[in-house]
Chains A and B, each alone.
Chain A
Amino acid sequence: MINSFAIIAFAALIHASFQLSVSMLTLMSGHTIGSKSSHAKLLRLTNTFSLGVAIMTLLIFSFIAFVLQQYFDAAVPAIAWASASGLLIGLGVAVWAFYYRRNPGTSLWIPRGMARYLSDRTKSTKHSAEALGLGMSSVIGELIFIFAPMAIGALALLQLEPGLQLIGAAMYTFVSLLPLLMVNGLIGSGHKLSSIQKWRENNKRFLQFAAGSGLLILGFYLYVDKVVAASALTGGAL
């Protein structure tokens, strides 16, 4: 049980190192402050945005867990773990190579059309409902990167008792939201956006390295723990 919670928490931490939602929150806050909106409105928009991210993360995570449960129930075969490990390792290498673009700023390797659309929508967000939808869209926009940690977290979730699965899903959502909540708190408490954005830009290569390394470490760990060790115990059958 502790092993499953640890895998869920680590997968959520990797998810947390992906930055599209934080970028959109920073951009939206900049435009809201720049248009002289009240602090209450700024807080309303940023909080609703974070709520949108939380809802969509929980929905997608639960959906993946539900689909996997239909296939495997609680007994996840070693072949599924092996596939998931491969996905993690492949994505880890891809994140090392590609996550941030090489130009200045914090532009990400998401399709440019989608980035432009999200950027335009972010700038024109004025109402809480729009901010909620935008938060939800930001999770979908980054699905290509967060799918693997979500799938691993969902596989680990299946190993838990039904009651604990709810706690596991909530924990995944909360941990994956930590950077967003921190930036939300910093903006709400009056920190300058330029300092936040400068910090993000100065540390983007480290964040990229940490995310890629986290994916590789989790991939290798799961392969050894769930595939090699399991097949040694069962005499080699996957």
Chain B
Amino acid sequence: MTSTTINIIKREGRRPSESFQRAKLYASIRAACLSVRSPDGVAEMTANNVCDAVIVWLETKPEVTSADLRRKATDTLKSFHPEAAYLYKHHRLVI
């Protein structure tokens, strides 16, 4: 599944909704893993695992907010790569 009909409500409706895109989630998780200097292969495998888990979770929901999606992705990432999960969770709270 690369893009589903599940609506992602962005910033509590202040920005237009968009459908879920696996590639976008994959890129952000991979970047978080690379930021903590994980090897390429580990980053890609972790991103794939997290995307798969998030998609399974999404299948039961008609729409979710981007905050929910981030929370779920963070929780899943924490079990694979706690340090990357920390950066992923906090990257909007640095400044």
The residues of A with any CB-CB pair to B shorter than 8 Å are 20, 23-24, 26-27, 30-31, 33-36, 103-108, 110, 115, 118-119, 122, 190, 192-195, 197-198, 201
Contact = CB atoms under 8 A, between A and B. Distances in A.
Overall SS of chain B's interface: helix
Contacts of B55: none
29 contacts: A24-B95, A26-B94, A27-B91, A30-B35, A30-B91, A31-B31, A34-B30, A34-B31, A34-B34, A35-B34, A104-B90, A104-B93, A105-B94, A106-B93, A107-B94, A108-B95, A115-B95, A119-B94, A119-B95, A190-B37, A192-B36, A192-B83, A193-B36, A193-B87, A194-B36, A194-B84, A197-B87, A197-B90, A198-B86
Interface string B29-43: 011101111001000
Given A192-B83, A197-B86, A103 B93 contact: yes
B93 A105 contact: yes
A131 to B, nearest CB: 16
B15 interface: no
Given A36-B40, A118-B95, A192-B36, 15 more contacts: A27-B91, A33-B35, A33-B37, A34-B31, A34-B35, A35-B31, A105-B92, A115-B95, A119-B92, A119-B95, A192-B83, A194-B86, A194-B87, A197-B94, A201-B90
Interface residues of B, number: 18
Interface of B: 30-32, 34-37, 40, 83-84, 86-87, 90-95
Contacts, number: 66
